[in-house]
Every structure is written in C-alpha cells, then in structure tokens.
Chain A
Amino acid sequence: MTATVERAPAASAAPPPLPRRRRRGRHRLVVLGFLAPALLGFGLFFCYPLVATVFFSFTRSDGLNPPEWVGLRNYVHLLTGDPVARTAAYNTLWMVVVLTTLRVVFALGTASVLARLRSGVGFFRTVFYLPALAPPVAATLAFVFLFNPGTGPVNAGLRAIGIDSPPGWFTDPAWAKPSLTLLMLWCSGELMIIILAALLDVPTELYEAAALDGAGPWSRFRHVTLPSIAPVLLFGVVNSVILSLQFFTQAVVGGSVASGAAEVAGHSKNVGWPGNSTLTFPAWLYQQGFRYFNMGYAAAMCTLLFLVSFACTVVLIRRMRSAAGTGEAR
C-alpha cells in the first residue's frame, strides 16, 4: 500500500471514438458526477464553516442575534485576559507532549513484542487491540472505577504490594492528566497495528545483511528497523498530536464522573475537575461557546486550534507529497 499517485490510463478505449474535445467534456462530466455529493459536503461542512469561524472570531455573537464586529478584542482577551484559557492551553500542551511521546513509544514497544513472537501472534494481537474497541466514554468510566482511590482494584493492588499511600488518580489534580494518559495508552491498539504492519514489512534481507556485518540487536534496531519504519512513525506522531489537540471526551467524562456530580457529563459545572487539571482547550472552547454562548470568543479559540492543527496537517501532507513525487512504488 502506498499513497503513490498512480497513472490511470486515459479512458479512451471505449468505442465509438468521439471527437477529442467532446470526449474530454464528457469525461469531465463523469468525474463531476462521481464527486458531486462529496464536493457539496466539502463546501458545506469544511470550507463554509472554516471561513465563518474566522469571521465570527472578530465578532461578539450569541448565535441568535446578528453578530457585532469587535475587531481583535476576542484574541486580546484570549491571549492576555483569560487565565482559565491559559490553564486549558497548558493542559492541552501537556497532553500533546506527554501523550504523543508515550503513545508512539508504547505502540512501537507492543508492536515490537508482537513482531518477535514465534507463536500465538494472532491471539496476542487481538488481546492487545481489544481495548481500542471500547467506546471512549465506556473506557473512561472503566478507568475512573478501576483507579478509584478508595475501593478501586488498582489501589487495592498497590496497597497489597506495600505502597501505603497510593495516588488519588482521577481525584488528584497532580495525577488526573497522568491517569488520562494511562487510559489513552490502554486504547492505543490502532497505532500498534499500523506499526506492526510496518515492522513486518521491513525486508528480512536487511536484517540478514546487518547480522552478517556483526550488528547487535540495538544496532540493528537503530540502523535497519528505525529508518525503514520512519514514515509510519511520523504518521503516528502527527496522528497522536492531532488526537491530543482535540482531546475532549475522556477529559470531560473523566472529570465529571470522578467528581460524582449528578449532571449531564458535558454540561457539568465540574468540567475540568479536579481544580481545572483536566480542562483541555477544546473543553473550555465548548464551555465558552455552548454553555455561555460566547460564540465569537469560542470562534477565536477555534481559529487558534485550527492554526495549530493545520500546521501538523501540513507536515503530514508534505511528507505524502514528497513520497508521491518520487513515485515510491512498492
């Protein structure tokens, strides 16, 4: 599989031969016909809202009354006047750095173990992947329960092995983000499968040649495995960064359920509980836009989020484009 752009032969073989120009016009119509619904969707649900978001970000709007132009005021407030937004940005940045690093390393580690197994690969692959199937809300509930500081099995186990004061996990501001990270690692099976496929795809001759040259396991990993799977690792990094940037569900549900509030989780006053430690940037954006209906301000946050994630997208597309350019066919 490659993202290589293949050369489709011109759809020219069909008799009877029409004049060239008419044929080309008809071909265009066919292409347009195939693309029409998706093109409409692209305009309505990608282009329009992107442009509109930028427009709204310069206005004060509650979504009902006509928006009122306020220039850069939303951005000034976002960057200088909103300490909660700063906390939220910090939390999201924390997830981007820690979660991305650990997720890629963990997926590479588990995939390497699978690649080395001599028997039972299918069985272990299924087991390792299974948690990735759990709906995020369900997995979060499970983890809040398992890591319940008083009665949860994790702390019961920790006490049994002699750790007298195990962490409060989801209820402790210092441990809430690490707990969410553990949850995300538990569910990282998809990336593992992608990396496993890349590992199994490394030509075995390369390993044999390296072994003949007397390369040890580390040297083989460093000089054979790593360069071969580098594109897939880059995909994993970009994928994980974007995942962390839009990190919402687990943080909102985790905070709300751990606080024990009797509310609709996403509408909780306890979003970010404990002590705003799980308040991610998208969660604060959601609160501002859809709880307080400061839609202009929320749009400014959206624009900022878009700029950062778009930069990551460009990295990935550049990478794909250069591969397409060199025609790396496999």
Chain B
Amino acid sequence: MTTALGAPAARRTARPGGGSVLHWIAVHSIAIALGLMFLLPLLFMALTAVMSDQQTLTTQLWPGEWRWENFAEVFAKAPMLSYLGNSLLYSGLATAGMLLTSIPAAYALSRLRWRGRNLAFFAVVAAMLLPPQVVAVPLYILWARLGLTGTLWPLVIPYLLGDFFSIFLLRQFFLTIPQDYADAARVDGCSEFRVLLRVILPMARPGIAAAALFCFLYTWNDYFGPLLYAGERPESWTLSLALASFRGLHNVEWNLTMAATLLVMLPAIVLFLFAQKSFVKGITFTGVKG
C-alpha cells in the first residue's frame, strides 16, 4: 500500500482512462484548476502580508508598495519570540517524551506476543479517537489542584507517558518490518531491549520520523490545549494561541495579521519540504486498511 505511493510511475501505464491526448489535456486542466484553488489563498496571504495597512482596506490585490518590514513589525507589536519559545518548549518536549515512551509500547504491541495484545491495541485505537474535550473537565481540576494551570506542563506531561496516536502509527510501521532480522538477533542471544535498539530502530527510521513530525505539528498547531490551560496567562501562550487574538488585541490591520500568520505557518512548510517522503508515508499508514 505504501510502495504504490513511492513509485506511482511504474503502475501508471495500466491505469484506466485510455491514452488519448484529449484525455491528457482534460485531466491536466482539472489538476491545474484544482491546484490554483489550493494555492491562490496562500498567494493572496503572501501579497497582503507585504501591503501597506491603507491598501488592505481596498480591494486591490497587488501590493502598491512592497513593505517587507511588515514581518519585522510583527515582532515589535507582540512578544512573538516569547510565544515561539513556548511553542518550541511544548512541541519539543512533547515529541521527545512521546518517542521515549511510545516506541517501546508500539514494539510490545506489534512484535512481542502476549495474551490480551489485541485488546490492548483496540484500547489504543479507542483512546486515540477520543475527542480531547471529553476528558477536559476532570483533567483541568486535577492540574488545577497540582497548581499547574497557567503553564504548558499539563500539555507536556501526558506525552511523557505515551501518545496513543503515535503508538498506533509506530505499531503499524513496526508490523511491516520482516520478523527474520529480529529472530536472528534473538538466536544470537539479544534481549528484547537490544533487539528493539539494534534491529528495529534502525529499520524503522522513516516511521519514527513520521511519528515525530506528526507529533511536533499536532502540538505546534494545537489550540484547544493551550487555550484551556494557558488562556488566562499570556506569558504561557503558544504561537497558535497568540495568533488567534493577534488582530483583536493589537488592533492591527490585515497586512500584519497575514504576515504573522505566514510566520506561524513557516515551520510546518519547511519541515514538509525537507521530509515529504516521511509525511506521505506516515499519512498513508494512518489510513487503516481493514
């Protein structure tokens, strides 16, 4: 299922639809139209971000003057660096903690045999699909008792104890690694821990990269969590949370708002361009087949 995406070219020759030039033109025209639909909003954002604030009040789409300094002005309007620090803290710690605890759990769920393993896997799926709002009330009370509301720790700590989506994704990936290598290592007397460390980890690098990317992006984009725990305390705001109030609180026009929006989008897009393969692989793996 994943290999198909890696090498679509090999399979394309026998795809349905005939080979006429007309067909080629039709399909490519639709693709280009769709592509414009996906790209134009991003283009308009970028153009607006470098306009003057006067011009954003008009319907002109092309900047009259190119104000690149808008991007710098965003940092002057709001403590963006502090928000950036908070975002990096949340996403970085959560991703590191997730890897440390979810990899062994995924290994036990895919490569060790024990009674109740299937049941445990379905529990992981159920936990992964649970809307975060459902458990918010008791958890909020719990963290408030511990005096941690107003900080991002209530969001980071759960990742130190495994993340269900990551466990699911990693398990799916570990299942695709041939058993023979691990068996050979076991025959040589390796403990399960060494099998995981020496055999599975190096072979599962793309899957682990995908899980880390998704975890990082999910936390980077998270709005509900930071709002719930840090909404009252601007010193703890993340970029996503701050961005939502940027226009209202700082009384700025759309040009600066769009410049800030692009800055918040940037890390995700850069990560994607560098690790496109891992992304596509990881996404494909979430589409549980059967």
Contacts and interface: CB of A to CB of B under 8 A. Distances in A.
A137 interface: yes
A291 to B, nearest CB: 10
A37 interface: yes
B14 A114 contact: no
Interface stretch (B56-64, B65-73, B74-82): B56-64
Interface stretch (A79-87, A138-146, A168-176): A138-146
Given A116-B27, A117-B28, A186-B38, A207 B15 contact: yes
B186 A14 contact: yes
A140 B221 CA distance: 12
A7 B110 CA distance: 9
Contacts of B59: 151-153, 156
Given A53-B134, A133-B269, A204-B15, A265 B248 contact: yes
Interface in B108-157: 108, 110-114, 117-118, 120-123, 125-127, 129-142, 144
Interface string B1-32: 11011001101101111000000100110110
Interface in B201-241: 217, 220-221, 223-224, 227-228, 231, 239-241
B112 A8 contact: yes
B44 interface: yes
Contacts of A124: 31, 34-35
B134 A286 contact: no
Contacts of B241: 137, 266
A306 B6 CA distance: 38
A10 to B, nearest CB: 6
B150 to A, nearest CB: 13
Contacts of A204: 11, 14-15
B257 interface: yes
A38 B162 contact: yes
B175 A299 contact: no
A45 B14 contact: no
Contacts, number: 385
Contact of B290 (A4, A236, A312): A4
Contacts of A295: 137, 140-141
B135 A34 contact: no
Interface residues of B, number: 125
B96 interface: no
B114 A31 contact: yes
Contacts of B105: 34-35, 37-38
Interface in A224-261: 231-232, 235-236, 238, 242, 245-246, 248-249, 252-253, 256-257, 260-261
A28 B276 contact: no
A146 B49 CA distance: 12
A267 B231 contact: yes
Given A299-B137, A312-B129, A256 B2 contact: no
Contact of B16 (A27, A220, A248): A220
Secondary structure dominating the interface of B: helix
Contacts of A46: 127, 130, 135, 164
A141 B261 contact: yes
A262 B138 contact: no
B84 to A, nearest CB: 13
A121 B28 CA distance: 10
A151 B4 CA distance: 45
A32 B54 CA distance: 63
Given A38-B162, A128-B34, A134-B268, 12 more contacts: A14-B190, A41-B162, A42-B164, A135-B240, A136-B223, A142-B258, A197-B4, A246-B132, A266-B241, A295-B137, A305-B131, A321-B118
Interface of B: 1-2, 4-5, 8-9, 11-12, 14-17, 24, 27-28, 30-31, 34-35, 37-39, 41-42, 44-45, 48, 56-59, 61, 100-102, 104-105, 107-108, 110-114, 117-118, 120-123, 125-127, 129-142, 144, 158, 160-162, 164, 167, 172, 175-176, 179, 183, 186-187, 189-193, 196, 217, 220-221, 223-224, 227-228, 231, 239-241, 243-245, 247-249, 251, 254, 257-258, 261-262, 264-265, 268-269, 272, 276, 280, 283-290
12 contacts: A1-B2, A37-B160, A41-B162, A53-B135, A128-B35, A137-B243, A145-B48, A145-B258, A235-B289, A262-B249, A266-B241, A286-B224
Interface of A: 1-11, 13-15, 27-28, 30-31, 33-35, 37-38, 40-42, 44-46, 48-50, 52-53, 56, 61, 63-64, 110, 113-118, 120-121, 124-128, 130-131, 133-138, 140-143, 145-146, 148, 151-153, 156, 186, 190, 193-198, 200-201, 204, 207-208, 211, 217, 220, 231-232, 235-236, 238, 242, 245-246, 248-249, 252-253, 256-257, 260-267, 282, 285-286, 289-290, 295, 298-299, 302-303, 305-306, 309-310, 312-313, 316-317, 319-321, 323-324, 328, 330
